[in-house]
Amino acid sequence: MMQVHHVTVSLGPVNEREALRYARCDAGDIQVLSLLRECEREMGAAQARVCYMQLPCSVTEKECDFGLFSVASRDLAKNLQGCKSVILFAATLGMEADRLIARHQLLSPAKAMLLQALGAERIENGCDAFCAQMKAEGLQLRPRFSPGYGDVDLSVQKDFFRVLQCDRLLGLYLNDSLLMSPSKSVTAFIGVEGE
């Protein structure tokens, strides 16, 4: 029986250049960098919570079948070509990051903008850390591919949430517009090679 796994991933150091890129700010601006570092201290040592499941996959030119659901997509099929299985995963920083951003939206819009960017860097860092853990277990992985990328319809989020039980395991919810809450969250397919 296929099982949903749940782990907490420690994040690596903040990539300030990447956070500033998300904020569309100049990395050479000392005032912006100082404010970003203040945001880093305020956000603290974030961790990503992840739930995931490995499923078999069968890929044709324009469809991917995972047994529990299928996705019509040439782009995803190209990404998963040659893979015998796929990891479905969802990751989140949790509500605290959203609360912190909301708290500063009225008090300091500049700080709120940098916290948004820092949250984006932190969740991407968490996804990278999760993939590194999977690779350490000997898996050869393809690049992550999320619902909404290329020709993969965003409605595929519903399948992720149903299969992974994101609400119960992560406190992660999907609204009617297919947006996730908490907002600093990611869902993705990861093709597994060589099985």
Token couple for 8: 């907490």
Pick the CATH number of 5-193 from 2.40.50.140, 3.40.50.1970, 3.50.50.60, 3.40.109.40: 3.40.109.40
Q: Please state the φ and ψ torsions of residue 93, each to the nearest 5 degrees.
A: -85, -15
- The tens place of each residue's pLDDT in the chain, 195 residues long, gives 479 999 999 998 999 999 999 999 988 889 999 999 999 999 987 799 999 999 999 999 999 999 999 999 999 999 999 999 999 999 999 999 999 999 999 899 999 999 999 999 999 999 999 999 999 999 999 999 999 999 999 999 999 999 999 999 999 999 999 999 999 999 999 999 975
Q: Dmax of the chain from CA atoms?
A: 54
Q: What 3-state DSSP class applies to 78?
A: helix
Contacts of 87 (CB under 8 A, 6+ apart): 52, 53, 54, 55, 134, 139, 141, 189, 190, 192
AA identity, residue 98: D
Domain ranges of the chain: 5-193
| DSSP state, residue 148 | T
Please give the model's pTM, rounded to 2 decimal places. 0.92
